[in-house]
Structure 1
Amino acid sequence: MNEDKVEGVAIANLIAADERSVVGWVYRWSTGALAVMWDARGPQRVARCQPDLNDAEKREIDFVGLTRIEAKSGGRE
């Protein structure tokens, strides 16, 4: 890994409220930080992570907040 670059790797899929769709990914950066990257549809309510994250990782990405995202209405925001 190039020390001048921050690089990340996906460590978990974010599974939508429908329990079937992957709507985003959790990335661990070379700095150790975690971040969420959404698919092209943007933030959506999440039901679970696959594989599951530990409690500290869930707090870092505000998993509880991800489970409370309001559904988009008719494609309008």
Structure 2
Amino acid sequence: MNDDNGEGVAIANLIAADEKTIVGWVYRWNTGALAIRWDMHGPQRVSRIYPDLSDADKAEIDFASLTQLPCRDD
């Protein structure tokens, strides 16, 4: 991570409802903020985060709402 360029680093994978497909990543920016980057198919239901994040980090990315999104095949 390069602090001078406002870059982030992926810290976790977002795992789809099928429990095997990675559908996005959680990034931590040099500011400490978290953000989600989706794969080319865009937002979709997430079943879990790997590796697991703290409850505070999950709240910051609103993990509960990610588990309610439509699945890719819905």
| Aligned mates of 2:17, 2:73 — CA distance in 1 | 15
Structure whose alpha-carbon radius of gyration is higher: 1
Q: Secondary structure at the match of 1:43?
A: coil
TM-score of the superposed pair, with normalisation by structure 2: 0.91
Q: Is the 8 A contact 2:3 2:30 kept in 1?
A: no
Give me the whole-angstrom Cα distance separating, in 2, the residues matched to 1:13 and 1:29: 15
Aligned length: 73
Identity %: 62
Tell me the SS of whatever aligns to 1:57: helix
Q: What is the root-mean-square deviation in Å for CA atoms of aligned residues?
A: 1.5
Whichever structure has more helix as a proportion of its residues is 2
- 1:69 & 1:33 partners in 2: Cα distance? 22
| Equivalence for 1:38 | 38
Contact 2:25–2:37 (8 Å) recurs in 1: yes
Runs of 5+ unmatched residues, structure 2: none
Q: TM-score, normalised by structure 1?
A: 0.88
